Amino acid sequence: MKVVILAGGAGTRLGEETAVKPKPMVEIGGYPILWHIMKIYSAYGYNEFVIALGYKAFVIKDYFLNFLPWTRNFSLHMSSGKITYHDGPENDWIVHLIDTGHDTMTGGRLLRASEFIGDEPFMLTYGDGVADIDIRALVDFHKRSKKLATLTTVRPPARFGTVALNGEAVSSFLEKPQSGEGWINGGFFVLEPEVRRYIRNGDATTWEGEPLENLARDGQLGAYQHGGFWQPMDTLRDVRQLEHLWQSGSPPWKVWSA
């Protein structure tokens, strides 16, 4: 099953970070958040990715073209140009990099990537959010539901820490927990190929609009509830929070061992 990642957004709310790079290339712990997302899927055995590019697509293309030299030690045989790579992190990935247009909306990007997806079930997510989600359980849920689409629902992270009071004393404090109210779209979809019929306005189609609304109307949209960690990277504050968690040594979305 292939994994489609929507990586074409500009991420204007990240200011200077995205002036020279697309949002999925903003780094957490020295690696683009796109890499973190791919590692989550790879931890569950999903290693083929279709990355739908847009804004500054060349930056992501350049990253993967130079991925091995940047992440591995190597020896260069100057006379022949042969490169021998040595120990370092190995990823058994196949990466399809598809330029889906600068101004294309999310549904349009999915449609443009169709030829690389094929006529089989696939997964879809955004290039700017991480979670400690059990991908295998998500796929099993989708198969049992027999619906055309499954989205992962999450509880949004609270903006501030939670303080419980006992009179004038603080009885407990929890730093920025997940909100206890409501469920929202957390990305991490599993989709049947037929969902592309719901994308009816080409590049102008927003996946989160008419396609999902109509799938729900037709009883073809399931909800996998993920009550664990989930964090989007929408603001510089989110970047700092994710970096803090990574530097803590036990980031909750790090479900891989190496």
Flag whether 256 is in a domain.
Answer: no
Helix (H, G, I), strand (E, B) or coil at 58: helix
pLDDT of residue 71: 85
At 195-207, the pLDDT tens digits run 999 999 999 999 9
Reported as type and span, the H/E element at residue 111 is helix 106-112
Flag whether 173 is in a domain.
Answer: yes
Rounded mean pLDDT, 10-36: 88
Rounded mean pLDDT, 21-36: 95
Rounded mean pLDDT, 234-241: 92
CA-CA distances (angstroms) from residue 236 to 27, 34, 125, 249? 12, 16, 21, 21
Q: How far apart are CA 184 and CA 179, in angstroms?
A: 11
pLDDT of residue 86: 87
pLDDT of residue 12: 76
Q: Is 16 a residue whose pLDDT tops 80?
A: no
Determine phi and psi for 51, rounding to 5 degrees. Answer: -105, 115
Residue 173 — pLDDT band, cuts 50, 70, 90?
A: low
Helix (H, G, I), strand (E, B) or coil at 164: strand
Strand (E) positions, 181-253? 184-185, 189-191, 221-226, 230-232
Flag whether 140 is in a domain.
Answer: yes
The residue segments making up the domain with residue 185 are 2-247
pLDDT of residue 14: 80
Residue 168's domain is classified under what CATH number?
3.90.550.10
Flag whether 257 is in a domain.
Answer: no
Q: How far apart are CA 238 and CA 158, in angstroms?
A: 12
pTM: 0.89
Q: Which residue has the higher pLDDT, 159 or 38?
A: 38
At 90-140, the pLDDT tens digits run 788 999 999 999 999 999 999 999 999 999 999 999 999 999 999 999 999
Flag whether 88 is in a domain.
Answer: yes
User: Amino acid letter at 48?
Assistant: E
Half-sphere exposure of 23 (CA within 13 A, CB side): 25
Flag whether 197 is in a domain.
Answer: yes
pLDDT of residue 163: 52
- Percent of the chain, pLDDT > 90? 76
Flag whether 22 is in a domain.
Answer: yes
Strand (E) positions, the chain? 2-7, 27-28, 31-32, 48-53, 74-77, 82-85, 94-99, 122-126, 129-131, 149-154, 162-166, 169-174, 184-185, 189-191, 221-226, 230-232
Q: Is 34 a residue whose pLDDT tops 80?
A: yes
Count of domains observed in the chain = 1
Flag whether 145 is in a domain.
Answer: yes
